[in-house]
Structure 1
Amino acid sequence: MKSDIDIARKANLKNIEEIAKQIGISDEFLEPFGKYIAKVDTKILKTLENKKDGKLILVTAMTPTPAGEGKTTTSIGLSMALNKIGKKSIVTLREPSLGPVFGIKGGAAGGGYSQVLPMENINLHFTGDIHAVSAAHNLLSAVIDAHIKFGNELGIDPAKIYWKRTMDMNDRALRQIVVGLGGSANGYPREDGFIITAASEIMAILCLAKDITDLKERISNIVVAQSYDKKLIKVKDLKIQGAMAALLRDAIKPNLVQTIENTPAFIHGGPFANIAHGTNSIIATKMALKLADYVVTEAGFAADLGAEKFLDFVAPTAGYDVNVVVIVATIKALKYHGGLKKNELDKENVEAMIKGLENLKTHIENLKKYNVPVVVTLNVFNTDTQKELEEFSKHCETPHALVYAFEKGGEGAIDLANLVLENIVENQYTPLIKNDMSLEEKIKILAKEIYRARDVIYTDTAKSKLRFLKKHGYDTLPVIIAKTQSSISDDPKKINAPKDYDFTIRNFELSAGAGFVVALAGDIMRMPGLSKIPNAVNIDIDEDGNIVGLS
Structure 2
Amino acid sequence: MPSDIQIARAARKQPIGNIAAKLGLGDDDILRYGPDKAKIAHHAVAGLAGRQHGRLVLVTAINPTPAGEGKTTTTVGLGDALNRIGKRTTVCIREASLGPNFGMKGGAAGGGHAQIVPMEEMNLHFTGDFHAITAAHNLLAAMIDNHIYWGNTLDIDTRRITWRRVMDMNDRALRDIVVGLGGASNGFSRQTGFDITVASEVMAILCLARDLDDLHARLGRIVIGYARDRRPITARDLKADGAMTVLLRDALQPNLVQTLENNPAMVHGGPFANIAHGCNSVIATDTALRLSDYVVTEAGFGADLGAEKFLDIKCRLAGFTPAAVVLVATIRALKMNGGTAKQDLGTEDVAAVTRGCANLGRHIENLRGFGLPLVVAVNHFAGDTPAEIAALQDYCIRHGTEAIVCRHWAKGAAGAEELAHRVVELVEGGEADFHTLYPDAMPLWQKIETICTRIYRAAHVEALPGVRAQLNLWEEEGYGHLPICIAKTQYSFSTDPDLRGAPEGHVIPVREVRLNAGAGFIVAVCGQIMTMPGLPRHPAAETIGLNDLGQIEGLF
> Given the two structures, how large is their TM-score scaled by the length of structure 2?
0.97
Contact 2:259 2:265 in 1 (8 A): yes
1:444 equivalent in alignment to 2:439:
no
The residue that corresponds to 2:434 in the other structure is 429
Contact 2:77 2:412 in 1 (8 A): yes
Q: CA deviation at 1:190?
A: 0.7
Contact 1:195 1:526 in 2 (8 A): yes
The residue that corresponds to 1:217 in the other structure is 217
Which deviations, in whole Å up to 9, do the C-alpha atoms of 1:491-528 show, x marking residues without a partner?
A: 21221001112222111001001011000111111001
The residue that corresponds to 2:201 in the other structure is 201
Deviation larger for 224-233 or 327-336: 224-233
The structure 1 segments of at least 4 consecutive aligned residues displaced by more than 3 Å after TM superposition are none
Which deviations, in whole Å up to 9, do the C-alpha atoms of 1:68-107 show, x marking residues without a partner?
A: 1100000000000011111100000000000111111001
Matching residue within 401, 404, 410 for 1:407: 410
The residue that corresponds to 1:494 in the other structure is 499
Deviation larger for 456-465 or 62-71: 456-465
1:312 equivalent in alignment to 2:312:
yes
The residue that corresponds to 1:254 in the other structure is 254
The residue that corresponds to 2:541 in the other structure is 536
Q: Secondary structure at the match of 1:470?
A: helix
Contact 1:81 1:414 in 2 (8 A): yes
1:383 equivalent in alignment to 2:391:
no
The letter for the 1-side match of 2:279 is T
Contact 1:465 1:507 in 2 (8 A): no
Q: 1:464 to 1:436 in 2, by over 3 A?
A: closer
The residue that corresponds to 2:485 in the other structure is 480
Deviation larger for 122-131 or 25-34: 25-34
The residue that corresponds to 1:268 in the other structure is 268
Deviation larger for 207-216 or 224-233: 224-233
Deviation larger for 447-456 or 295-304: 447-456
Contact 2:441 2:480 in 1 (8 A): no
The residue that corresponds to 1:504 in the other structure is 509
* Alignment gaps of 5+ in structure 2: none
Deviation larger for 471-480 or 260-269: 471-480
Which deviations, in whole Å up to 9, do the C-alpha atoms of 1:442-465 show, x marking residues without a partner?
A: 112111211111121111142343
Q: Secondary structure at the match of 1:21?
A: helix
Q: Percent of aligned positions with the same letter in both sequences? A: 52
Contact 2:489 2:529 in 1 (8 A): yes
* Whole-angstrom distance in 1 between the partners of 2:175 and 2:72: 29
Deviation larger for 443-452 or 298-307: 443-452
Contact 2:279 2:300 in 1 (8 A): yes
* Whole-angstrom distance in 2 between the partners of 1:350 and 1:169: 40
Q: CA deviation at 1:50?
A: 3.0
Q: Secondary structure at the match of 1:460?
A: coil
> Given the two structures, how large is their TM-score scaled by the length of structure 1?
0.98
Matching residue within 525, 530, 534 for 1:525: 530
Q: Secondary structure at the match of 2:67?
A: coil
Q: CA deviation at 1:544?
A: 3.0
Which deviations, in whole Å up to 9, do the C-alpha atoms of 1:132-180 show, x marking residues without a partner?
A: 0000000001111111111111111111110000000011110001111
The residue that corresponds to 2:184 in the other structure is 184
Q: Secondary structure at the match of 2:490?
A: coil
Q: What do you get for the CA RMSD once the two structures are aligned?
A: 1.1
The residue that corresponds to 1:365 in the other structure is 365
The residue that corresponds to 2:32 in the other structure is 32
* Whole-angstrom distance in 2 between the partners of 1:52 and 1:327: 27
Contact 1:57 1:294 in 2 (8 A): yes
* Whole-angstrom distance in 2 between the partners of 1:545 and 1:60: 36
* Whole-angstrom distance in 2 between the partners of 1:183 and 1:396: 66
Aligned length: 551
The residue that corresponds to 2:327 in the other structure is 327
Deviation larger for 6-15 or 417-426: 417-426
Which deviations, in whole Å up to 9, do the C-alpha atoms of 1:190-244 show, x marking residues without a partner?
A: 1010000000000000000010000000000000011112111100110110100
Q: Secondary structure at the match of 1:307?
A: helix
Q: CA deviation at 1:47?
A: 2.5
* Whole-angstrom distance in 2 between the partners of 1:226 and 1:544: 54
Q: CA deviation at 1:188?
A: 1.0
Contact 2:445 2:468 in 1 (8 A): no
The residue that corresponds to 1:284 in the other structure is 284
* Whole-angstrom distance in 1 between the partners of 2:523 and 2:170: 20
Q: Secondary structure at the match of 2:154?
A: coil
Q: CA deviation at 1:471?
A: 3.9
The letter for the 2-side match of 1:445 is T
Contact 2:392 2:403 in 1 (8 A): no
Which deviations, in whole Å up to 9, do the C-alpha atoms of 1:292-339 show, x marking residues without a partner?
A: 101000000001011001111101211111000000000011111101
* Whole-angstrom distance in 1 between the partners of 2:468 and 2:444: 12
Which deviations, in whole Å up to 9, do the C-alpha atoms of 1:258-304 show, x marking residues without a partner?
A: 00110100000000001100010000000000111010000000010
Contact 1:400 1:419 in 2 (8 A): no
* Whole-angstrom distance in 1 between the partners of 2:245 and 2:76: 31
Contact 2:393 2:402 in 1 (8 A): no
The letter for the 1-side match of 2:473 is F
Q: Secondary structure at the match of 2:323?
A: strand
The residue that corresponds to 2:57 in the other structure is 57
* Alignment gaps of 5+ in structure 1: none
Deviation larger for 222-231 or 281-290: 222-231
Q: Secondary structure at the match of 1:322?
A: coil
The residue that corresponds to 2:227 in the other structure is 227
